[in-house]
Each structure stands twice: as C-alpha cells, then as structure tokens.
Chain A
Amino acid sequence: MNYNRNDYGRQILGRVRRDEFIGRTAELERLVSHARESSVEGRETQGLLILLTPLAGVSELLRQTFDSLFSRREEVVPIYFALPPDETTAVSAAIEFLNTFLLQYISYRRDEPSLCRASLALNDLVKLAPAADVVWIEELVEAYNRQRFGEDDRELVRFCLTAPDRVPSADVRPFVMFDAVQLANYSDSSIPLAIEIVRALRSGGNPFVLAGLRREVLDAVTRAGCNTDALEVMRLDQLGDEDARSLISATARRQQVSITDETRDLLVQQLEGSPFFITSFLQAAGEKRLALDSYLACERLYVDELMGGRVNRHFSSVLEHLAPEPETRASVIRLLCEATPEGKRTTHFESWRRRLKLDSAAVEQLLRLLHIQELINCDGEKIDITGGSTLWQDYLKSRFRLDAMREPRALVVADVMADALKRAPQTIAHHYRRAASLPLRELLGKFNSQLVPRCLFDFAEFAPAYKGAPAEEAAAGLDADTNLVRLPQVFHAASGVSFGSALRPFGEESSVVAHAFSGGVYTNQNEIVWLVARVESKLEANAALVEKWLNLLTGVARKSGLVNTQIWLIANEGFAPEANDLLRSHNAFGSSRQQFDILTDRLSTGERQRSDTDNEFQLIFPMGADNEMLAASAVEQVARRLNFTAEAINQIKTAVIEACINASEHSLSPDRKIYQRFQVENDRLSITISSRGILPINFGANSQGEEEATAGESQTSDDRRGWGLKLIQTLMDEVEFERVDEGTSLRMTKYLRQSS
C-alpha cells in the first residue's frame, strides 16, 4: 500500500490538483455521490448523461471524479475512458476501452495509481491481476483472444464494451465514466459506435456516466431505443463569469502569466467562459512568457492563437474531420461565411448540395456534424449559419480571407488584430452594462399569477407613501395594502430588440417583450403581451422621455401585430408628475428602481417560501359527504398550535370549508379528491386547497371584483351561490389563485399578528 487513506487529494488522472480545479465543484460532488449511491447493494442502477455545450469542458471533471473515487477506496471502482481524439475505428476504440478498463481496474484493486498511466498489453495485465480477480480476468482475456480472430467486428465491439459486466458483483462495482466528446469522429465507421456504447452501458448492471456533446448524446440515446426517463441528466454549460474569473486567475498563476483585473475581465468575455479556450490561451501565454497586462497584449496573443495556435488547431481539426477533402472544406468555409444575396444568414439544404457538389447523403452527414458541434442549426431543410462562438466566427472569417479570397496573410492578421482591439472595449462595456442593468427578463420570468400591491406599478401612488422609506417600513405598509393586482403568467420573455430594431440602440438588456396569460386561464381573451423598458434618466423621467418610449413600444407592438398589450416603464428615480399623467392616460405602468427592487424581492421571497416544505402538512380526502368538515377540523388543530384566537380559527375554518366547496363544485374532477396543504410559519398560516379537473372557462377570471352583490339585490337562489370566494377574501388576509394546469388551487393566508 503506497497511499495515505486520509489523502483524498491524490492526483492520478487529473491534470490539475484538486484545489486548483475550479468552477465545477458542485458537479464533481454530484458525480461522486451518484457513483456511491448507485453502487449501494440493492439500489436500482442509475445512468447519468452529461449533456455538454460545445467547449464547455467535461474531461477534467471526469478525471477529478476518478481521482476522488480512487482515493476513497470504497466498493466503487472508477473507470475513466475517453474516446481517442484522433480518427480511428470503432473496433480499435473498443479494444482500447477493454485495455483501459482492465488497467484501471487492476490499478484500483492493487491500489497502485501509477499503473493507470502504464502502457501494458492484456497478457501483462493478467499477470498483474490480484488473486481475487485472476480467474475472471484470465477468462475475459481468453475470450477476447478468441473473439479477436472472429469475423464479426460488431460482436467484438460489443464484447469489449461490455467487459465491466463480467466483474463478479461480490465485493466491488465498476463505475464507468465514458467521455464521448470525440464521438462525432467515429460517425463514418461502419459500426454505429454511439449506439453500441449506449446499449452496452444500459444493459450492464453497473452505474455509469456518459458524457458528450448534448445534441449527439441525446440523439444516440434515442437511436439506441433507450428510455431517457430512467437516466439522470446533468447539463454543462460554459463557466459563469465568477468561475471563469477564478479559472483565469488560477491558471495564470500556474503558468506564471501576469494579468490585470482589466485583462482578466476581458478574457472572461472574449473566451466566453470556455475552460478549453481559457486554459489553452494561458498555456500559450506561459509558453511564450508573455505578460497579459494590456488589451493589446491579449489581442496580439488572441490573433496568434487564432491564426496558428491551439485555437486554430482545434477548429482546423473540427473542419478537417467534417470535410476531409480540401475542396469540400473550402466550399464549406465559403458557405458558412457568405450571407445570402438578401443578407440573410439562413440557407437551404438544396443550395448546399449544389455548391458542395456532393450527393445528398454526404451533405446530410456534413450538416449533421456541423449541427452536433452547434456551428449551425439545421432542421434537415433550413440551415441557420449564425451558430458558433465569436472565436469560431473570427477563425472562419480569417480562413475565408486566406483560403477563398487569397488575401495576403499579413493583411488578414493586421485586420483581425485591429478588429479585436476595436471590439475589446465594446465587449467589456457590453459586459458592464449587462451587469449593471435591471434583470428585466428574470423578473418577468417570475410572473406567475401572484397578487402584488398595485402601487408597485404606479409611481405617483407609491412615491408619497414609500419613496425613501426604510425597507422594513415600506414592506410593512405594502403587506397591509389591500389594493392588489394579479400578475399575468409569463410564458415567454425575450429582449425587445428581437421584436423591433428601433430598440437596438438602447441595448439588448433595456427592454423586454413578455408573452403571458392573465387571469390564470389560457384563452384568447386572456392573452396579453407586456412591453417593458428601462428608461435612462438621472432624475425623475419627464413627459417627453416617457412619450418617446410609449411611441417606441407602441410601434414595436404594432409592427409585431401585438394587440392586447401592457406597457411598463421603469426609471431609476421614478417619474415627474406630468409623466405620471401621461402614463395613466395610456394605461401604462411606471415604476422606480425602488419599486422594481421591492417587486423582485417579493417574488423571490414567494419562491423561497414555496420551496420550504419543512413546516408543511398535507391532507387528501374525497369530495362530498361533508368531508370539508374534516379539512376544517384539521386546520383548526394546526391553527390552535399557532395560538390563533377562537374568532380567527372560526374564520379560517369557514374559509377552508368555502374553498373545499368551490373545489368540489367548480371542477370536473377525475379523482374526486381535494388536496389540502398547510404551511406553518411563525407569523402566519397558509392553506392551499386544490383539486384536479377542468375549470369552467370564466372561473377565477375576475376574482378581484366578482361576487360583490349581497343578499336581497334581486338575486335568485342560483345567483346567491358562489359567494364562497367573497367570504374567503373577507375572512382571510391574503387569497391567491395559483395557476395550475387543471383544476383549481387556492392559497389563503392568515397572519397571526393581525388576528391576535
């Protein structure tokens, strides 16, 4: 034994030390616990797919997982196998897998990490097998030797890929991590390697991870006839800004490259948070002993990398794999660089087939590979060529000018560098603007039929009461506000720029067009589009500015054919009196930054509260037979524990009874059940009564103002029915219809402080 059992940081396959592995800590922990939990005896075997955005990087994550599991010395035997990047065959890849599997297995069983890096033939491995494993390993190698000389290559591939299934399940369980990022390289093999890999992993009884480009992995899983519901999924995107900054700083330290805060932030944006580009770039800087302490130094290296460094080699190899013939490659570059005569970046399959002079199957294969790499988006007929990172676009342009236009290399280098330098401050400015901008889209995305104080959308009403007030005071006042507005349920929110070029000069983040349904029911009448914009003004926005924005947004709505709209403007300091009048005359909302922040906070708090289930009780009971009394009794017990007064308890019970009656009467419930949920907090009791079923079309459409009539106003007996909601609203402090796909869900809250 040559290791310290307490040392979980052994670096075996990892290329960086554990403490230098940045940005994927949560994913690493998830993979380790996935391996350990799935390997528990009797637990259902779990497969995990890692769906990767191109260049997001997964190999180091898997290697770190291997190291972590190896160091733990538990019953999980980690196996990491990456498909070789160089062009090869399915058979050679499968044999390589068998060899790697045995090497790493024996290495683990002997607890000799250095074996993992050895190059040993299968017969040598048999000699190294520990006594407990020697029998099955010998049998495996003998069987392989027989299979190797058979006629059936596909059978051989299957034999190799299923080798982990031959491990006797007594003591240990292999955990195979299959890094299939290079899978696309094998797509021209006569054996469908992707499908064989998926089938081999799924058919075995061992937990596994299959990682690869998201489009390819999903496609392979589907083609293998695999039920994706039985698989866990992890999505890996580029690093976020914070993690990318940390990775750049750590890698620069390791490579002894000097950077500044400014150049670090530039690289985060320019390298688009890709771990591959970041490490490649800083390795190049380290090798050349460059200091990246100015934009100029960064862009000089950027162009070097683009024209002849690692970045160039990466994209060149992608292109060479896509189109091995130089002539085809040149045509592909031309097709990807040239816009159509109409200036559009969308072309059609037929035009590609004509230009490439290839048969349909070859064009299809080429487009499929481009699509997998997310360099284009292709639906079989239409081809959108706007895909790929900025680096890819820069690479493509330079290749186009060099290869197709045959421009002098020096000129292309100078131009690319000039463009990069001009773009650098813009990239950073865009980033800072985005960081400082209001998260309009995020907030609109949270609109989900909540009730909020109406004054949060009306600066003229809000300002006299709350402008400049301490947050707690404003919150208390707004909590007691009974003039509420129900937000719509937003189902799609996009930058206003996507809807109208007139909004482009203000930046992508300045406006949002949000499609929604109001009233919680999906009908034509309830469809509404919110047009939201941030108005730049250091002081209260004046009428002229408001008028300009109203015209802009109205114009966008008209051009896009949006009929039922709600305009909402947000200005940091709110709006001047005449601007408020203008907003009101257009039925538009206007809020200050303070209102916006309060609204954001309230909607986030609502989400947090809903996700907290520690103090939650649930009761399910059949409709009818006075069962609402059971619900009332249950809520009474809960309310007593919270020390509500007898009067308040009676009010809560009555409200619960009414809600149960509503649920029974208003839905064509298939299961005839009422679902009651109590959420207990220090100062309140929230009760949700819900049922399944289809609602009458207008149910809840006017829950604010409906049922205002009281007894005796020429009502028939039928008219008098349906007072339940009015009663509930009067008896409880907050009442809210929650949007559900079918049936009703009514959430009622009673505050302790107001009752006692």
Chain B
Amino acid sequence: MGESVKSNVRSHCVGTTAVVYASDYLNKLTGERIERECKKQLDSGARALVIDFSDTELVNSIGISILLGIIDIAEKGGALVVFSDVNSETVQLFEMLGLTRHVVLAANEQEALSNLSTSPPQSQAIGH
C-alpha cells in the first residue's frame, strides 16, 4: 500500500481501489489536480475510486463540476466512485446540485473501502 504525493494530491491504492484525498478547499485548481490523479489511477487499472474529503472545509461550484467530470470518466470506465468523510455542509451542496444521485457517500475511508469490497464492479452490476 504505497502513498503518492505527486502534484500535491495525496493518494494510495488498496487493491484495485484508489483512495484520493481532497484538500481543504476544493476549487478549480485543486479540483483539476484531483481529476488528474483520478484519471492516472484509472489508467493504471484502478476499478474503484474513493475520494476522501476529511480535510475539506469548502467546495465551490467549479470544484463540484470537476467532481462530476470525474464521475463521468469513472462511469465510462466501469469504475465505482465513493465519496468519504464529507462534512454536512458539503453534503448539502452535493444534494442541491444532484451529485448524490451519482455517487455513494461513506462516513469515512474505511467504510468506503468496505462498501466497495462487498460491491461488484459497476460494469458487472449493470450487466455488462
């Protein structure tokens, strides 16, 4: 289980699941860094993404639109996305913009990983 801090985005892999840590303020700059890291992980064979928001205090609308882009990419690649440790205000924002319809929320990283270990890959779940 190695941890990467390249491009200032912390991440590590647990089996075929990549855990990516969002920073304290998710905006265009930090959002694009997360997007880049997620794409890299998916290209490297990750079958699920956990984006952890435990450090995240604020998210802006550009950050949210980038998260949706990440969800799109993951869905197209048949990978699952789980958001973990999202504070209640950010959950409220995600709900307002309909994000929660496309992503699973978990209380923390552990719960996210355990959810994923019991879920089949998305491509199987939808019958491909």
A661 to B65 alpha-carbon distance, docked (Å): 14
Contact A712 B101 (CB under 8 A): yes
Q: Is B7 in the interface zone, CB < 8 Å from A? A: no
Q: From residue B63, how far is it (CB to closest CB) to chain A in Å?
A: 10
Residue B93 contacts which of A626, A722, A727 (CB distance < 8 angstroms)? Answer: A727
Q: Is A414 in the interface zone, CB < 8 Å from B? A: no
Question: Cβ of B29: which chain A residues have Cβ within 8 Å of it?
Answer: 626
Question: Cβ of B25: which chain A residues have Cβ within 8 Å of it?
Answer: 626, 629
Question: Cβ of A650: which chain B residues have Cβ within 8 Å of it?
Answer: 58, 89
- Contact residues of B with A, CB < 8 Å? 25, 27, 29, 58-62, 64-65, 68-69, 88-89, 93, 96-99, 101-102
- Contact residues of A with B, CB < 8 Å? 626, 628-629, 632, 647, 650-651, 653-654, 657-658, 661, 710-713, 715, 717, 720-724, 726-727, 730
A724 to B97 alpha-carbon distance, docked (Å): 10
Residue B61 contacts which of A632, A712, A713, A723 (CB distance < 8 angstroms)? Answer: A723
Describe B's contact surface by its main secondary structure.
Answer: helix
Contact A654 B89 (CB under 8 A): yes
Contact B65 A721 (CB under 8 A): yes
A401 to B99 alpha-carbon distance, docked (Å): 86
A720 to B60 alpha-carbon distance, docked (Å): 12
Residue B98 contacts which of A657, A661, A712, A727 (CB distance < 8 angstroms)? Answer: A712
Question: Cβ of B89: which chain A residues have Cβ within 8 Å of it?
Answer: 647, 650-651, 654
Question: Cβ of B97: which chain A residues have Cβ within 8 Å of it?
Answer: 710-711, 723, 726-727
A721 to B69 alpha-carbon distance, docked (Å): 11
Question: Cβ of B68: which chain A residues have Cβ within 8 Å of it?
Answer: 711-712, 715, 717, 720
Max chain A Cβ within 10 angstroms of own Cβ: one of B69, B97, B101: B97
Q: Across the two chains, which residue of chain B brings its CB closest to A660?
A: B60
Question: Cβ of A713: which chain B residues have Cβ within 8 Å of it?
Answer: 98
Q: Across the two chains, which residue of chain B brings its CB closest to A711?
A: B98
A344 to B60 alpha-carbon distance, docked (Å): 65
Contact B27 A626 (CB under 8 A): yes
Contact B61 A724 (CB under 8 A): yes
Contact A661 B61 (CB under 8 A): yes
Q: From residue B106, how far is it (CB to closest CB) to chain A in Å?
A: 19
Across chains A and B, which 4 residue pairs bring their CB atoms closest together, nearest first? A710-B98, A720-B65, A711-B98, A650-B89
A451 to B11 alpha-carbon distance, docked (Å): 47
Question: Cβ of B58: which chain A residues have Cβ within 8 Å of it?
Answer: 629, 632, 650, 653-654, 657
Known: A711-B99, A711-B102. A727 touches B65 (CB 8 A): no
Q: From residue B36, how far is it (CB to closest CB) to chain A in Å?
A: 14
Residue A711 contacts which of B60, B88, B101 (CB distance < 8 angstroms)? Answer: B101
Question: Cβ of A628: which chain B residues have Cβ within 8 Å of it?
Answer: 60
A650 to B86 alpha-carbon distance, docked (Å): 14
Known: A626-B25, A626-B27, A730-B96. A658 touches B61 (CB 8 A): yes
Residue pairs across A and B with Cβ atoms less than 8 A apart, 27 shown, are A626-B25, A626-B29, A629-B58, A632-B58, A647-B88, A647-B89, A650-B58, A650-B89, A657-B60, A658-B61, A661-B61, A711-B64, A711-B102, A712-B68, A712-B101, A715-B68, A717-B69, A720-B65, A720-B68, A720-B69, A722-B61, A723-B61, A723-B65, A724-B61, A726-B96, A726-B97, A727-B61
A514 to B60 alpha-carbon distance, docked (Å): 41
Residue A661 contacts which of B62, B93, B99, B101 (CB distance < 8 angstroms)? Answer: B62
Q: A626-B29, A658-B60, A723-B65 are in contact. List 5 more A-B contacts (CB 8 A).
A: A653-B58, A661-B61, A712-B68, A723-B64, A724-B60
Q: Across the two chains, which residue of chain B brings its CB closest to A657?
A: B60
Question: Cβ of A651: which chain B residues have Cβ within 8 Å of it?
Answer: 89
A720 to B66 alpha-carbon distance, docked (Å): 9
Q: Across the two chains, which residue of chain B brings its CB closest to A653?
A: B58
Known: A711-B99, A712-B98. A654 touches B62 (CB 8 A): no
